[in-house]
Chain A
Amino acid sequence: MAHDMAHGLPVSDSHDGHYKGGWVRWLETTNHKDIGIMYLIFGFIMLFVGGAMILTVRLELFQPGLQFVQPELFNQLITLHGLVMVFGFAMPVATGLANYMLPMMIGAPDMALPRLNNWGFWILPPAAIMLTLPFFLGLMGIGPGAVDTGWTLYAPLSIQSGWGMDFAIFAVHMLGVSSILGSINVIVTILNMRAPGMTLMKMPLFAHGFLMTAVLLITIMPVFAGGVTMVLMDRHFDTHFFNAAGGGDPVLWQHIFWFMGHPEVYVLLLPIAGALPHVFSAFARKPIYGYKAQVYSFWAIAGLGLIVWAHHMFTSGMSLGSQIYFMYITMAISFPLAVLFFCWIATIWKGAMSFETPMLFALGSLVLFGWGGVTGLALSDAAADPQYHNAYFMVAHFHYAFYPTAVMGAMAAVYYWLPKWTGHMLNETLGKWHFWVTIVGFNLTFIPQFFVGLAGMPRRIPDYPLMFTEWNMLSSIGAFILGAAHLIFVYNVYKTIKGGDKAGDKAWEGAEGLEWTVPSPAPYHTFETPPVIK
Chain B
Amino acid sequence: MRSLYKFGLSVLLALGSAAALAGYAFNFPEPVTPIARETLHMHNLVMVVILVLFFLVFGLLIYSFRTHSKSAGYQAGKFTGPTSRKQWLWVLSPFALLFFIDYVVFGIPAYHAVVLYEDTKTDAELVVKVTGSQWLWQYDFPAEGVSYTSRLITPRNQIDSGAAKGEHYLLEVDNPLVLPVGKKIRFITTSNDVIHSWWVPAFGVKRDAVPGFLREFWATVEKTGTYRGQCSELCGKEHGFMPVVVNVVSQEEFAKWLASKKPVALAPAPTAATEPAAQAVLAKAQ
Contact = CB atoms under 8 A, between A and B. Distances in A.
Interface residues of B, number: 100
Interface stretch (B46-54, B175-183, B265-273): B46-54
B50 A383 contact: no
B221 interface: no
Given A286-B78, A371-B54, A463-B159, A244 B43 contact: no
A245 B207 contact: no
Interface string B55-83: 00110110011001111001111111100
B50 A378 contact: yes
B24 A451 contact: yes
Contacts of A72: 237
Interface in B188-227: 189, 193-195, 197, 199, 201, 204-208, 210-213, 215-216
A518 interface: no
A504 interface: no
A454 interface: yes
B114 to A, nearest CB: 5
Given A381-B110, A389-B206, A334 B102 contact: yes
Contacts of B99: 335
B232 A342 contact: no
Nearest to A467: B25
Contact of B39 (A351, A383, A390): A383
If over half of A's interface residues share one DSSP class (helix, strand or loop), that class is named, otherwise mixed; here it is helix
A287 interface: yes
B24 A352 contact: no
Contacts of A366: 61
Interface string A200-218: 0000000000000000000
Given A317-B189, A374-B54, 13 more contacts: A65-B158, A157-B236, A160-B193, A289-B81, A316-B215, A338-B94, A355-B69, A374-B50, A382-B110, A386-B204, A451-B24, A456-B28, A458-B232
25 contacts: A65-B159, A66-B159, A71-B238, A72-B237, A160-B194, A244-B212, A286-B77, A287-B80, A317-B207, A320-B114, A324-B114, A331-B107, A338-B95, A348-B68, A351-B74, A367-B61, A382-B114, A383-B38, A383-B116, A384-B39, A386-B205, A458-B232, A467-B23, A470-B23, A471-B24
Interface of B: 19, 22-29, 38-39, 42-43, 46-47, 50, 53-54, 57-58, 60-61, 64-65, 68-71, 74-81, 91, 94-95, 98-99, 102-103, 106-107, 109-111, 113-118, 158-160, 162, 165, 167-171, 189, 193-195, 197, 199, 201, 204-208, 210-213, 215-216, 228-241, 275, 277-278, 281
